[in-house]
Amino acid sequence: MLLQAQITEDMKTAMRAKDAPRLSAIRLLLAALKQREVDERIELTDTDVLAIIEKMIKQRRDSFEQFEKGARQDLADKEQFEISVLQGYMQAAMSAAEVDAAVIEAISSSGARLMADMGKVMALLKPKLAGRADMGKVSALVKTRLSG
């Protein structure tokens, strides 16, 4: 089953269960998916859906930190709940060793030697690691490997 279809089914389940907080989080996700489809006039693949979910999780983490700093625990709790719902759709995260091995393999297969080759390496890694690793950390690891 496609990920987007699974999300729609989960929305129906939340509606039947009258689980308002979960329903709200899923509706936000579906709205973001629909917005992307309309804006770009495309059918989303599972990779696209995972990228959108990853972006939404990052936004909620940033909001969570701001609400914590502002002593707004009620809003921080809401963001934390939405993060947990969204993470339920992400693939299992890769371990640091698996990410490191993927980076080494991508560097060797692309023939990258310099920092200027970083784009080639990231182009190989992004489809493999999207939704399974923090791409910011992957990027930092690639920089470290290419510079040292």
pLDDT digits (tens, 9 = 90+) for 34-66: 999 999 999 988 888 888 998 999 999 999 999
Q: What's the whole-number mean pLDDT along residues 94-109?
A: 86
**Those residues with Cβ within 8 angstroms of residue 107's Cβ, 6 or more apart along the chain or in another chain:** 121, 142, 145, 146
Amino acid, single-letter form, for residue 121: V
**Those residues with Cβ within 8 angstroms of residue 119's Cβ, 6 or more apart along the chain or in another chain:** none
Half-sphere CA count of 35, side-chain side, radius 13 A: 7
pLDDT digits (tens, 9 = 90+) for 110-120: 888 888 888 88
The pLDDT-based confidence of 138 (bands split at 50, 70, 90) is confident
Three-class SS of 32-100: HHHHHHHHHCCCCCHHHHHHHHHHHHHHHHHHHHHHHHCCCHHHHHHHHHHHHHHHCCCCCCCCHHHHH
Q: What is the pLDDT, as a whole number, of residue 64?
A: 95
Q: What is the pLDDT, as a whole number, of residue 1?
A: 58
Higher pLDDT, 146 or 9: 9
Residue 102 has pLDDT above 70, yes or no: yes
- Spatial distance between the Cα atoms of 41 and 34, rounded to a whole number of angstroms: 10
- Report the SS3 class of residue 19: coil
pLDDT digits (tens, 9 = 90+) for 117-135: 888 888 888 888 877 787 7
The pLDDT-based confidence of 17 (bands split at 50, 70, 90) is very high
Among 130, 57, 47, 145, residue whose Cα is nearest residue 93 = 130
pLDDT digits (tens, 9 = 90+) for 66-100: 999 999 999 999 999 999 999 898 877 787 888 88
- Report the SS3 class of residue 133: coil
Sign of CA dihedral 125, 134, 5, 63: negative
Q: What is the pLDDT, as a whole number, of residue 85?
A: 94
